Amino acid sequence: MSIWRYANPAEFMRLTGWIVAPLWVAAAVLVGVGLAWSVSVPPDYQQGLTVWILFIHVPAALLAINTYALMALASAIGLIRRHHVSFLVAKAAAPVGAAFTLVALVTGAVWGQPMWGTWWVWDARLTAVLIMFFFYVGYMALWAAIEDEDKAADLTAVLCLVGVVFAFLSRYAVNFWATLHQGASLTLQEGQRVDDTYRLPLYLMMVAFYVLFAAILVTRARTEIRRRRAKALRARADRAREAAGRDTGPASQEAPA
């Protein structure tokens, strides 16, 4: 059985039909438990209560970058294999990625003010994330600006692929340049990495954000498929009415004579 059969909108609707509600329930439970755990950990000895902000900032930043990677992959598949569902998934993911990027930028700034002494610095990672956010906004604006949906799908896919460099830099800028933003703190060796008191609720919040992302993404993709189906049905009905009008037109003109 080929994975590509799910690129068929009807198959996609059938497959995702039964997972939407459980995804939303799981997201609500995980986010609720994750938040409750996050705001019950003791203040950090250096960061104080601002450590709580990281339980939102880190998962949001992770999703901001990974959503862009997903969009790029879906766009590339759409361009190469001409699967409409790939374009629709990329389109559905864009507002979600933009929202998580905005959350990462805002929570990062709010954490940065008390910890770094500034809301913002033009450091490589922060700048790359800001540019990636602009790519998200530009991508959505381009979809909205082009009426022909096939043409919009192609052009937005190209734009998305151009922006991949900033998603890559958002992730790896801390490895290439000396930045104010710290490097990886979760993948370090034991003894150097974040203590379990903070690490475990952070992992839970990451899982919670991923499940929430999946719930929103699947719902938005299904919305887009329904919207297109409604549009196609209306166009078909309009064509049928026009054809019926042509058939009855001359007869109705002849009748009075």
Q: Which residues bind another protein (CB under 8 A)?
A: 43, 48-50, 52-53, 56-57, 60, 95-96, 99-100, 102-103, 106-107, 110-111, 113-114, 212, 216, 219-220, 222-224, 226-227, 229-231, 233-234, 236-237
The burial of 194, by beta-carbon neighbours within 10 Å (0-12 exposed, 13-18 middle, 19 or more buried), is given as: middle
Q: How far is the CB of 240 from another protein (least distance, A)?
A: 8
**Closer by beta carbon to another protein, 110 or else 121:** 110
**Closer by beta carbon to another protein, 53 or else 77:** 53
Helix (H) or strand (E) holding 114: helix 84-116
Q: How far is the CB of 80 from another protein (least distance, A)?
A: 28
Place of tokens 């037109």: 249
Q: How far is the CB of 219 from another protein (least distance, A)?
A: 5
Structure tokens at 70: 């997903």
Structure tokens at 128: 């790359």
The angle, 0 to 180 degrees and rounded to 10, between the axes of the packed helices 51-81 and 124-145 is 50
- Radius of gyration over every alpha carbon of the chain, rounded to an integer in angstroms: 24
Q: How far is the CB of 245 from another protein (least distance, A)?
A: 15
**Closer by beta carbon to another protein, 5 or else 226:** 226
**Closer by beta carbon to another protein, 81 or else 234:** 234
Q: Is residue 163 within 8 Å of 139, Cβ to Cβ? A: yes
Q: How many residues does the chain have?
A: 257
Bridge partners, residue 48, by sequence = 44
Q: How far is the CB of 76 from another protein (least distance, A)?
A: 25
**Closer by beta carbon to another protein, 23 or else 169:** 23
State how far the Cα of 213 lies from the Cα of 209, in Å rounded to an integer. 6
